[in-house]
């Protein structure tokens, strides 16, 4: 059996920046076990599999896997998959215009296609549902997980806490971008303070200089439960940051947040977040960015139980 794939770098305008994503199309014949094995073969933070939706109002059903397990939702896979399908022009006999709807485990995710002339350059999704706050953590515990000294965290706006949107992360603000760059995650401390049943990992952010009316953040994400030491661009975490700041930032105006991530990994990423706080009890969050194609190829599978897929590809 042969199935086609493409890869893209997401939340970047430049090849070899951002967060790489593999998109496997025509994946209906694949088993869950094969999808997981293929994801481990690519060894990216996530791989998506496009299958025919059960809901006829949806463009496609999308299954998202990390190397460790299947995810109900993730950000950069939605942006990258939307860009990949829009560049194809259609899927399952449906042409793709300026909006797609993906059927996912979390529910339906709506995504706008970003175009410049005839070129598909990116996508922007509406965060599905509302982010939920969970447990809070002691400052020293999070500092230990990040390999930082006491006093590294900024507690002016919130204590370290869990925020959930399909998946859960612990969020903490640091006192400076310089402190963020010093992070050296300590796996033993993760095991002691952030057990697997609580969160997928740790999101640390610091405020950077922004233009008038814009919040500029630097972010690092350590996704230990997804078998990812550090993630270069995390759209789901960006959505949760938007929801969190929508609650704690003063005033009632809508927010524009620019997130720079992956700097310390030499995979610079740019994520644009919008938070609408007007006339609603809960802020509405959008997350968008650009994506560029990198490779296209074919996966060759011997049978449904094959756990060692081979790949052939051509860089574009």
State the pLDDT confidence band at 195, using cuts at 50, 70 and 90: confident
Nearest 10 degrees: Cα torsion 58, 241, 281, 98? -30
Task: Please report, for the chain, the start and end positions of each structural domain, with discontinuous segments joined by +.
Answer: 2-127+291-315, 132-281
CATH hierarchy code of domain 2-127+291-315 = 3.10.310.10
Evaluate if pTM is beyond 0.85. Answer: yes
pLDDT at 280: 63
What is the dihedral angle through the alpha carbons of 160, 164, 169, 171, rounded to the nearest 10 degrees? -30
For 5-39, the three-class secondary structure string (H helix, E strand, C coil) is: EEEEEECCCCCCCCEEEEEECCCCCCCHHHHHHHH
- Percent of the chain residues topping a pLDDT of 70: 93
Instruction: Look at residue 225 and tell me whether its pLDDT is greater than 80.
Output: no
The DSSP letter of residue 194 is S
Q: Which residue has the tokens 């399908």?
A: 85
Specify the pLDDT at position 303: 63
For strands 99-104 and 60-65, give the pairing: parallel
Q: Is 41 one of the annotated active-site residues of the chain? A: no
pLDDT at 306: 45
**Fold match flag (2-127+291-315 vs 132-281):** yes
For residues 91 and 155, what is the distance between their CA atoms, to the nearest angstrom? 47
- Where does residue 271 rank: exposed (0-12), middle (13-18), buried (19+ CB within 10 A)? buried
Top-level CATH class of 132-281? Answer: alpha beta
For the packed helices 75-88 and 235-248, what is the interaxial angle rounded to 10 degrees? 120
Q: How confident is the model at residue 183 (pLDDT cuts 50, 70, 90)?
A: very high
Residue 314, pLDDT score: 58
Token couple for 165: 């949107």
What are the counts of helices (DSSP H) followed by strands (DSSP E) for the chain? 6, 20
Selecting among 4, 13, 46, 70, the annotated active-site residue is 46
């Amino acid at each position: 059996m042969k199935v086609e794939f493409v890869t893209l770098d997401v939340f970047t305008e430049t090849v070899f920046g951002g967060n790489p994503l593999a998109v496997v199309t025509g994946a209906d014949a694949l088993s869950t076990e094969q999808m997981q094995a293929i994801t481990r073969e690519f060894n990216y933070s996530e791989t998506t599999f496009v299958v025919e939706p059960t809901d006829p109002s949806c463009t496609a059903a999308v299954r998202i896997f990390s190397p460790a397990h299947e995810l109900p939702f993730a950000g950069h896979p939605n942006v990258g998959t939307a860009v990949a399908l829009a560049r194809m022009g259609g899927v399952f006999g449906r042409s793709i215009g300026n909006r797609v709807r993906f059927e996912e485990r979390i529910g339906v995710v709506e995504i706008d296609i970003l175009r410049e002339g005839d070129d598909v350059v990116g996508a922007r999704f509406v965060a599905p549902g509302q982010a939920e706050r969970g447990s809070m953590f002691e400052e020293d515990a999070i500092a230990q997980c990040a390999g930082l000294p006491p006093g590294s965290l900024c507690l002016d706006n919130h204590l370290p806490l869990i925020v959930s949107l399909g998946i859960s992360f612990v969020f903490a603000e640091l006192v400076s971008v310089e402190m963020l760059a010093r992070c050296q995650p300590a796996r033993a401390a993760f095991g002691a303070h952030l057990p697997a049943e609580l969160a997928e990992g740790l999101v640390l952010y610091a405020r950077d200089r922004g233009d008038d009316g814009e919040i500029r953040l630097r972010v690092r994400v350590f996704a230990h439960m997804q078998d990812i030491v550090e993630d270069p661009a995390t759209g789901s975490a960006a959505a949760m940051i938007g929801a969190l700041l929508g609650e704690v930032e003063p005033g009632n105006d809508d927010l524009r947040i620019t997130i720079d991530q992956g700097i310390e990994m030499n995979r610079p990423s740019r994520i644009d977040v919008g938070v609408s706080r007007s006339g609603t009890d809960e802020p509405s969050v959008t997350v968008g960015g650009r994506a560029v194609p990198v490779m296209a190829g074919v996966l060759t599978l011997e049978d449904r139980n094959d756990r060692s897929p081979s790949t052939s590809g051509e860089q574009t």
